[in-house]
Structure 1
Amino acid sequence: MNCISFVDCLQSNLITFENASTYSKISNGYHGLKWTNAYVLDTEIYPQWSESGFYSAVKSGTWVAFNMNGDRMTIAIDTPNKFSIKSFVVSSAWNDRVTLSMVSQRASTYYKEASFKIEKNRSTTIELNWLDINTITFYASIKNSQHGEVFVMDDLCLDSNTLSTSTSTSTSVETIDKCSLNEALYQTHCYYLDGVGGECRYGYSLGSETILSLIADSFIGLNYKTAISGNCCVITSEKYSNYGVNSVDQCNKQGPFTAVPSLNGGGCRNHTTEHPRQLTFCMSN
């Protein structure tokens, strides 16, 4: 592996992930590309993670990108357009001895692949110089583990023939002052997650799984409303619980949330047993 100086990367082609919405999913069109399972956060908002890879990966500003829940991250562009990925800075978020693997495609056909060891408290500059590709997929893992690992990226240097200067992201969910702390605004209601065993606060009632499926990502970076959960299957207005948190790093642990409820997450399927501190999805009346 070789390291490069970023004076070799044109400023217009250096993606630093600055000035995006707090802890949000990167939307398609960001820098003219299509992004899958790519999120950004401002590390200044999370000083409690100062010993994690979220801090060691920072090279420009305070923002970084990461893959949610350890799942694969993909960057792509529609053909016949193409891009070249030169280099990036990366750390493992929570663990050492992590292997970051990358596979690329050119014109929808396998092109190149590579793997590198990454650490939590020390960033690694990876130089690829893969030219004229359409897709690159990243996946991080630990040997003999069945689960993916979260990696953190900064200073992504690439070149695209459709490179855009736009750095904005968009979302249909807001977390602004129309709602209280740790609540997400969707349409005309405020929503929150709390470990309260199905008992919502006065003026709130149980929200539906349908709405939860639409806005789950908006809880990334937020926290429990009042109490840490004791069971990760989410109580909603439905008779059975089918949504849960499947991340061992987040389930029943102090936030802010780095993983959110998903369909059958944590094995929650037609779940009926209620824990006094079971995770609960509430909405304003």
Structure 2
Amino acid sequence: MFENVDNHHTFWHCLHGNGYLKPCPASSIWSQVDCQCVRNTMLPTVTVTTTTTEETVLPTTETISNCLDSNLITFENASNYSKISNGYYGLTWTNAYVLDTQIYPQWSESGFYSAIKSGTWVAFNMNGERMTISIDTPSTFSIKSFVVSSAWNDYVTLSMVSQRASTYYKEASFKIEKNRSTTIELNWFDINAITFYASINNSLHGEVFVIDDLCLDSTTLSTSTSAGIEDKCSLNEIFYQGHCYYLNGVGGECPYGYSLGSETVLSVIADSFIGLNYKTAISNNCCVVTSEKSSNYGINSTDQCNKQGPFTVVPSYNGGGCRNYTTRHSRQLTFCMSN
């Protein structure tokens, strides 16, 4: 059985040399990773950026450059040709291996080299089998983007399926090549697992793919003594009255599970951002977007406005001249809270 690339709500069933187009049940779509119909959710918007092998030495794309160092996995700190150990970045890794490409110059024309974005190390799936990255509940992680190439062949389809709370969440498929890297921006938030599988023309024989610059953020558990309850907040977030808050340069757009926080709360917890960092992206305007109709909090441009953290100065009332400011910029500083 194989996917119908023209309609995710149907699939091809091959029997005795004949192909039969069959529908999935209502409210479900075909998953080539699971080889069955699964519950449908809105398919993600996947941003694909391709670069040739020669271009891998150029500066990385804006998507990757906005990934904080603490969230960027470059696979530079593992032993040669080694299976990634469980616990690496707090995650469970299944059939995930790393190698230092410098030791394999004979592979210079392969995807092991075209996928390189940082350093010389890359990750790959051994023997073309499925690779899974997961974390034990109640913890979750969010995957923003990664760079990928096919190791040995062109016209390879890389499929991914994710889970949230141990149930199907989202999936996506796209083409990858051997001598051309592809930057995939997923922005899948608060998931428990993601499984990768690569093949050519839906063959049962899997293909090896190569990954570098994996940008993700895993949650950590923290205890708020003031609230007297345990809650979870991700890196660079502040826990206050049952919610997690953070600052990010995203132009007023908070991700799934988050919404704009109020200026009232910002005025109370602003000082707590000292020593923290942008969530994923540096801002290009420092008037803070909140749930109010206009921005009245900001950071002075002479201080740390639009600069890499950690924060040494935090938003203040009328800071940077922000008062009744209504203009929106693509990466305007934004105050988000968990729902």
- TM-score, normalised via structure 2 length: 0.47
CA–CA distance in structure 1, aligned partners of residues 132 and 107 of structure 2: 25
- Does the alignment pair 1:119 with 2:215? no
Q: Please give the alpha-carbon distance, in whole angstroms, between the structure 2 residues aligned to 1:158 and 1:145.
A: 30
Among candidates 96, 107, 113, match of residue 154 of structure 2: 96
1:44 equivalent among 102, 118, 126: 102
Structure 1 residue 91 displacement after superposition = 0.1
Partner residue of 2:75? 17
- Following superposition, the deviation at residue 146 of structure 1 comes to 2.0
Matches within 5 A, 1:1-285: 1-2=46-47, 3=49, 5=62, 6-162=64-220
Distance 2:178 2:95 in 1: 20
After TM superposition, give the deviation of residue 161 of structure 1 in Å.
1.1
Aligned mates of 2:202, 2:98 — CA distance in 1: 28
- 2-structure distance, mates of 1:98, 1:112: 20
Equivalent pairs: percent with the same residue? 84
Structure 1 residues 110, 144: closer, same or farther in 2, change over 3 A? closer
Shift of the alpha carbon at 1:144? 4.6
1:5-58 residue CA offsets vs partner (Å, 9 max, x unmatched): 222101100000002111000000000000000000000000000000000000
Q: Structure 1 counterpart of 2:208, which letter?
A: V
Which ranges in structure 1 are unaligned for 5 or more consecutive residues? 165-285
| TM-score for the superposition, normalised by structure 1 | 0.56
Structure 2 CA distance for aligned equivalents of residues 19 and 156 of structure 1: 14
**Residues 203-223 of structure 1: CA distance to partner in whole angstroms, max 9, x if unpaired?**
xxxxxxxxxxxxxxxxxxxxx
- Cα deviation code 1:139-189 (max 9, x no counterpart): 00000522000000000000111389xxxxxxxxxxxxxxxxxxxxxxxxx
RMSD over aligned CA atoms reads 1.3
Question: Higher strand share goes to which structure?
Answer: 2
Q: Could you list the runs of 5+ residues in structure 2 that have no partner in the other structure? A: 1-45, 50-60, 221-233, 236-339
Residues 36-84 of structure 1: CA deviation (Å, up to 9, x unaligned): 0000000000000000000000000000000000000000000000000
1:66 maps to a residue whose letter is F
Number of the residue aligned with 1:250: none
Question: What residue identity is the alignment partner of 1:140?
Answer: A
Distance 2:86 2:77 in 1: 16
Distance in structure 1 (CA, Å) of the matches to 2:104 and 2:144: 29
Residue identity in the other structure for 1:155? D
SS at match of 1:161: strand
SS at match of 1:123: strand
SS at match of 1:148: coil
**Residue type of the alignment partner of 2:108:** S
Describe the SS at the equivalent of 1:87. strand
Distance in 1 separating the partners of 2:120 and 2:175: 24
Cα 1:145–1:19, aligned 2, differ >3 Å: closer, same or farther? same
Q: Please give the alpha-carbon distance, in whole angstroms, between the structure 1 residues aligned to 2:197 and 2:73.
A: 20
The 2-side partners of 1:24 and 1:160 are apart by: 23
Map Cα deviations across residues 205-246 of structure 1 (whole Å, 9 max, x no partner). Answer: xxxxxxxxxxxxxxxxxxxxxxxxxxxxxxxxxxxxxxxxxx
Q: Which residue of 1 aligns with 2:36?
A: none
Matching residue's letter, 1:121: N
1:96 match: secondary structure: coil
Distance 2:202 2:90 in 1: 37
- Match in the other structure for 1:233: none
Amino acid at match of 1:124: T
